[in-house]
Amino acid sequence: MDCGFPGPHSGPMETFESLVRAEFAPKNTYLNTASTGLPPRRTVAALRTAVEAAAAGQPTDMFADVEAARASFARLTGVPARRVAAGASVAVYSGLIAASLPAGAEVVTAEGDFSSVVNPFHVRGDLKVRGVPLERVAEAVRPGTALVAVSAAQSADGRVADLPAITAAAREHGARTYVDASQAAGWLDLDADAYDYVSAVGFKWLLCPRGVAFLTVPDDLGDLRPLFAGWVAGERPWDSCYGPVEELAHSARRFDESPALFSYAGARRSLELLEELGPDAVRAHDLALADRFRAGLTALGHQSVPAPGSPIVSVPGLGHRQGGLSEAGIEVSDRAGCLRAAFHLYNTSADVDRLLDVLAG
């Protein structure tokens, strides 16, 4: 029986489908992962177990969950676990990077990028922040540029940054690179080793509970100072609870925030599932659905914002349809007058067709 997933239904695809069907059963047509991803069943179960164990006075080892989640994110992004910090917010990590820059340093950003990426550089007040159109970020890097900060995929419309070109330009001029992968980690073929810093929240395409974020840093830890280091940032955390931390972690863990432990108990399972499915399979699935939607929009006489290779589709002029779509059981977003649909592994071709049918009236 055709279960609505694109592509052939045999061999590895059946494994993909069976895994997804075992973990997700949304009761609506949920096309809003760019806002919040759906937690898998295993994640919900892990959260329930952790909360109930804590309520019984016998908490599980959730610090082990933090380390497992760190290691899983490291594998998904192609870096050693020692280069991954675990926290809760991209804005905090953007602020950490902003604080590392000398006064007067130039930072190149993309116009209209997500505020958590760019605002910490603006509030410094003594940095030269230049915002340029996304497609011109690479050419905007020049001698004297200290940092390029950009989202891998734009939250508003899904456009994917030309990261190879940006990285090449930054290297040519001696600038560091900072990539926010919040709208990309989980589906994009992301090699974090290619950039100085990569951050990502976990509650979107990584399907984690809110309260989970990661930062990758270079082997030399970059130019970052552990400004918010607490006891968890110590080389021996349980010996660092009182007074100044005598020895900071020799790894990226020195940039850890005190973790939201229940969130990490769930995150461990979400990231485990993504590893089981495989990033290549998730990407192929997501992009096939987005392409199906784009083709259907064209047939209806609508044009989406050009964003090839992205599972996020933004349609100008249709944002006002969001309320009616929600009433019809279809969850999408309204972003600046655009209808934004985001396709992820729990969506099917039937979901795409239902959205198109409702849009057609």
- The pLDDT of residue 59 is above 50: yes
Fold of 12-40+278-360: Aspartate Aminotransferase, domain 1 (3.90.1150)
Give the pLDDT confidence of 174-199 residue by residue, as tens digits: 999 999 999 999 999 999 999 999 99
Domain ranges in the chain are 12-40+278-360, 62-276
Give the residue-averaged pLDDT of 212-229. Answer: 95
Residue for token digits 């987005």?
Answer: 290
Q: Whole-number mean pLDDT of the chain?
A: 95
- The pLDDT of residue 347 is above 60: yes
Task: Place 1 in a pLDDT band, splitting at 50, 70 and 90.
Answer: very low
Alpha helices in the chain (DSSP H): 12-23, 41-55, 62-77, 90-99, 115-123, 137-140, 163-173, 261-277, 279-300, 322-327, 349-360
Q: What is the pLDDT of residue 15?
A: 87
CATH top class, domain 62-276 = alpha beta
- Helices and strands (DSSP H and E) totals, the chain: 11, 12
- The pLDDT of residue 10 is above 70: no
Give the pLDDT confidence of 140-151 residue by residue, as tens digits: 999 999 999 999
- C-alpha dihedral, 256 to 260 to 262 to 268, nearest 10°: -30
Give the pLDDT confidence of 260-275 residue by residue, as tens digits: 999 999 999 999 999 9
